Amino acid sequence: MSIRLAILFLAAFAAAACSGTSQHSVPGEAVFAKRQLQIDIFLARGFLGGSEYERYAAKDGFLWRECGQLAEAPSPRSKHSSLEGDELLPPDPGLVVKERRVEKLSKVQARFIASRALDFVEAEKNSQKDLPLPGSVYSLSQPGLVELVVFTDGQEHRVVTSVDAVVEGETKELEGSLKLSEAIRGVGPEMCDAKTFYGIARRTP
């Protein structure tokens, strides 16, 4: 009897250890896999000294993000050094990368982002209003650009509008865009010394 109990105990311990290891390795993956969720966000706006941008790609429980400046006169022949994450954030001759990071999402972070993403999807599907158009990303007086795409359950949901319109959030679709962008920006340490991106803050669960 004691041998059988010992075997059962060891089997239960091994199962628990395997389960714990799996959850620890990719804590946010299951949350994203449940709805086949992927998120891509691009933000850009002009300021007095030039133009700034932020770019995000969330997939498989990880978040790739980068920030930097827009080149005023990108050259099609300009050479770019290869960076880890180019498959999700491909090189662009119009972008000068200052920082790039990858964050493994905790289950809490993944659930928070997924919730905001699904709220955005519902607002986008039910929207009946035309969104404000984006403006030049090279002018201080223009409202900038937001391109936000959520892929879920095999469907694509896209918004292209301005930074100022998202910050003002006058429709459910724009409000959802703001909340999702803030949730994505809230992951990991601050980059490029930007607590906000022209009114788009950082939010955590």
Question: Tens digit of pLDDT for each residue in 138-170?
Answer: 998 999 999 999 999 999 999 999 999 999 999
* Residue 200 DSSP label: B
The answer for 81, left when phi > 0, alpha when psi is -120 to 50, beta otherwise, is: beta
Mean pLDDT of the chain: 85
Tens of pLDDT, residue by residue over 23-47, are 444 678 999 999 999 999 999 999 8
The single-letter code of the amino acid at 50 is G
What does the alpha-carbon distance between residue 51 and residue 141 come to, in Å, rounded to a whole number?
A: 12
Q: How far apart are CA 176 and CA 166, in angstroms?
A: 9
User: Backbone dihedral region of 103: left (phi > 0), alpha (psi from -120 to 50 degrees) or beta?
Assistant: beta
Residues of the chain with pLDDT under 70: 1-26, 73-81
Output the six-digit token pair for 85. Answer: 């994450």
Six-digit token pair at 172?
């459910």
pLDDT confidence of residue 1: 41
| Helix, strand, coil % over all residues of the chain, rounded to 5 | 35, 25, 40
Q: How far apart are CA 148 and CA 103, in angstroms?
A: 19
Sheet containing strand 62-70, edge to edge, reads 95-104, 62-70, 50-59, 38-47, 145-152, 155-161
Alpha-helical regions (H) of the chain:
2-25, 29-34, 107-126, 163-168, 172-185
Residue 16: count other Cβ atoms within 10 Å of its Cβ.
10
Say which residues have a Cβ less than 8 Å from residue 189's Cβ, sequence separation at least 6. Answer: 101
